Structure 1
Amino acid sequence: MTVALSRLDRQYGASVRSVWSTVLGRVNLSWSGLNSWRDADAAKFRRKTLPILLAGERQIATLTASYLEQLYKEVDAKAPRISLDLDAVTGKALRGVDPNEVYERPFTEIYTALSEGVPLDAAVDRGGHRLETIAKTDLQLARTHTVREVSAGMPRFKYTIRELQGEYDCALCILASTQRYSKKDLAPIHPGCDCLVKTVEADYDPGQVIDEQKLKQIHAAVDAALGQSDRGGRALDYRKILVTNDHGEIGPILGFAGQHFTSRTDIRIPT
């Protein structure tokens, strides 16, 4: 069960990537333009950057809602227009945490690195990497939250699947693209993931695995890389190479078995 990308898919994907490029470019420019990283500079950075990020999230949410609406018209021409509360799928709604607190974390990353004796340039690089990861995650969360919110009102759509479409495709995304997910579940993500989340109509449950051939190819790749394989799942449970971890703040994340993520109570910025 492989779904080819349509012209609509490609147009939507290109539009989202354009928003990503613009927003991340402006955020990184603001970061690189800082002359110091003290508290006053951090506050100034957030005042300038958070409106840019919020605007990007709202653009992605609007594009996603319009995309899903057009998809649904193909199966139900009489479906009513979508009414989406953008505040419910952007900003604080994404994590349940004030964005001001979230975007303090890149600066805290710098301070922590400096306290460990890391040179300033390297510490700033660490902070910049943390910033980019956070920003990419929030932009992707705006999409997945919108998919969940909008598809809830589309009874003929039963599942969501992930379609690979960009230069950021990785092993985790390839594995995930062989699976189907219930539309009520937030699609698993990782920072920088640009997979297309597609809603699909189905008269029956196709089962968790929807692309057995691709999964077999992944099994072969694991065998080639690790030097062992076991189709019976006794020595190596290939299905557990991809797991869904509850981050606590941003929801499900794609990861490898054995990874651990902080819970919401673990993520606190010292005052």
Structure 2
Amino acid sequence: MAVSQVLRWLISTRAARREAILNTTADRIEAHWRMTDPWDGHQVATFASTAAEASTVAQEAIVSLATATQMAYLSDFGIGIEFAPDVPAEVRLFTDLASQFVTPTRVVSAGRESVRLPVAEPYQRLARSYRANVADGKPADIALAQSITRGRIVTATNLALAEREAEHQILTEAVRQGKPVIGWRRVIHPERSETGVCGLCIAASGRIYSVDELKPLHAECKCETMPVTADRDPGGALNDEDLKRLYQDAGGTGRGDLKKTRYAVGDHGELQAVLIPARRGDPVHRHRPAGRPDPVDLDAFQREHEAATRHLPLMRQILAQALARGAEEDSGPIRYQRAQIARFEAIVNG
């Protein structure tokens, strides 16, 4: 059965909106982190709380988007349900590894109680990793860059976890109501990834998953979740279209790489189901559609200039808000923030 234009539009629109929510949130959190002294415990706690609030707002937006989209998918299938998923802010499970830093939060969601990790804790890890790297001899700028990358991954993962939990609840409820949903399929998005679609995602998109299976996650995943019925599997048709183009673009050796990737589903604990190579250490190939330019590899100054241009307005706003709340001009946090702004202004104006 052909894929309707409505579904194609929904998939494209949802992917673009999801990306916009993520980028806006990750940029805001990064700006706050750049204005935080990693050695000052009070500043770090304030940052983690602010980042948690920003992440929670974005998670709610992602859940609303996922709900609207899944309901529209089901409607296109001729299936109607009335249901609002109940996704808590705490989207990560609590594990023993976290117990030395934070106490768990008990959450009741969709009628079930679970022990979850407080939203702020993953953002506290940015400071701990920064300090550990500096203590191991890494230059401060390298340690900061790595902590920034880690922070963006934390935010992206939070949003992916919230989205997954919402979709899982919706499809589970559809089955509970006796709707003809038999499972879901992972739908790849080659057009959304600058570095190319991941070989693990390509491999994992080749089967139908039962409704009770959580979608395995991995870093920078752009995949869609689409319901499947006995006579409707539009996700499979869309994957076939994209894979046909990728196979044609890849040619001999590349086509072999696409076909030979094997995956496994691991249990991360905190994140639950994750997508990993079938054998530890196996390379994971990425594949871009033909005509997609290679990602630009900026040198150190260009990266700093790009970051300064992007973050200076937010950093100035953060400083103004701190002063409006009564922070003293000669206080440690304000001096640190002014120094970061001055450094970026010198880069932009240099």
User: Could you say if the C-alpha distance between residues 57 and 177 of structure 1 is closer, same or farther in structure 2, counting changes exceeding 3 Å?
Assistant: same
What's the Cα RMSD here?
Answer: 3.4
- Per the alignment, residue 109 of structure 1 pairs with 129
Listed as ranges, the matches of 1:226-245 within 5 Å are 238=260, 241-245=262-266
Distance (whole Å) between structure 1 residues aligned to residue 167 and residue 280 of structure 2: 27
Distance (whole Å) between structure 1 residues aligned to residue 256 and residue 70 of structure 2: 43
Task: Using the TM superposition, give the Cα deviation of residue 226 of structure 1 relative to its aligned residue in structure 2, in angstroms.
Answer: 11
Deviations 1:215-256, CA, capped at 9 Å, x for gaps:
9x87xx79826999xx9xxxxxx46x2111111110111121
Task: Using the TM superposition, give the Cα deviation of residue 204 of structure 1 relative to its aligned residue in structure 2, in angstroms.
Answer: 10
- Per the alignment, residue 188 of structure 2 pairs with 164
User: Could you say if the C-alpha distance between residues 195 and 21 of structure 1 is closer, same or farther in structure 2, counting changes exceeding 3 Å?
Assistant: same
Distance (whole Å) between structure 1 residues aligned to residue 47 and residue 70 of structure 2: 34
Structure 2 unmatched ranges of 5 or more:
94-115, 282-350
Listed as ranges, the matches of 1:1-271 within 5 Å are 6-76=8-78, 79-87=80-88, 91-95=89-93, 96-155=116-175, 156-165=180-189, 166-167=192-193, 169-202=197-230, 214=243, 224=253, 238=260, 241-259=262-280
Task: Using the TM superposition, give the Cα deviation of residue 74 of structure 1 relative to its aligned residue in structure 2, in angstroms.
Answer: 2.8
- Per the alignment, residue 336 of structure 2 pairs with none
Which secondary structure does the structure 2 equivalent of 1:144 belong to?
A: helix
Distance (whole Å) between structure 2 residues aligned to residue 246 and residue 107 of structure 1: 26
User: Could you say if the C-alpha distance between residues 67 and 204 of structure 1 is closer, same or farther in structure 2, counting changes exceeding 3 Å?
Assistant: closer
User: Could you say if the C-alpha distance between residues 100 and 2 of structure 1 is closer, same or farther in structure 2, counting changes exceeding 3 Å?
Assistant: farther
Distance (whole Å) between structure 2 residues aligned to residue 158 and residue 174 of structure 1: 21
Distance (whole Å) between structure 2 residues aligned to residue 129 and residue 64 of structure 1: 26
**After TM superposition, where is structure 1 displaced by more than 4 Å over at least 4 residues in a row?**
1-5, 225-228
Name the stretch that deviates more: 155-164 or 51-60: 155-164
Distance (whole Å) between structure 2 residues aligned to residue 214 and residue 120 of structure 1: 43
User: Do the aligned residues in 1 keep the contact of 2:91 with 2:158 (CA within 8 Å)?
Assistant: no
Distance (whole Å) between structure 1 residues aligned to residue 17 and residue 232 of structure 2: 32
Structure 1 unmatched ranges of 5 or more:
232-237, 261-271
Which secondary structure does the structure 1 equivalent of 2:174 belong to?
A: coil
Report the identity percentage: 22
TM-score norm. by structure 1 comes to 0.77
TM-score norm. by structure 2 comes to 0.61
Structure with bigger gyration radius:
2
User: Do the aligned residues in 1 keep the contact of 2:87 with 2:162 (CA within 8 Å)?
Assistant: no
User: Could you say if the C-alpha distance between residues 56 and 41 of structure 1 is closer, same or farther in structure 2, counting changes exceeding 3 Å?
Assistant: same
Deviations 1:129-151, CA, capped at 9 Å, x for gaps:
21111111111111111110111
Name the stretch that deviates more: 112-121 or 169-178: 169-178
User: Do the aligned residues in 2 keep the contact of 1:94 with 1:145 (CA within 8 Å)?
Assistant: no
User: Could you say if the C-alpha distance between residues 204 and 86 of structure 1 is closer, same or farther in structure 2, counting changes exceeding 3 Å?
Assistant: closer
User: Do the aligned residues in 1 keep the contact of 2:168 with 2:214 (CA within 8 Å)?
Assistant: yes
Amino acid at match of 1:162: R
Which secondary structure does the structure 2 equivalent of 1:154 belong to?
A: helix
Distance (whole Å) between structure 1 residues aligned to residue 226 and residue 153 of structure 2: 24
Amino acid at match of 2:193: E
Distance (whole Å) between structure 2 residues aligned to residue 25 and residue 183 of structure 1: 34
More helix by percentage: 2
Task: Using the TM superposition, give the Cα deviation of residue 76 of structure 1 relative to its aligned residue in structure 2, in angstroms.
Answer: 3.9
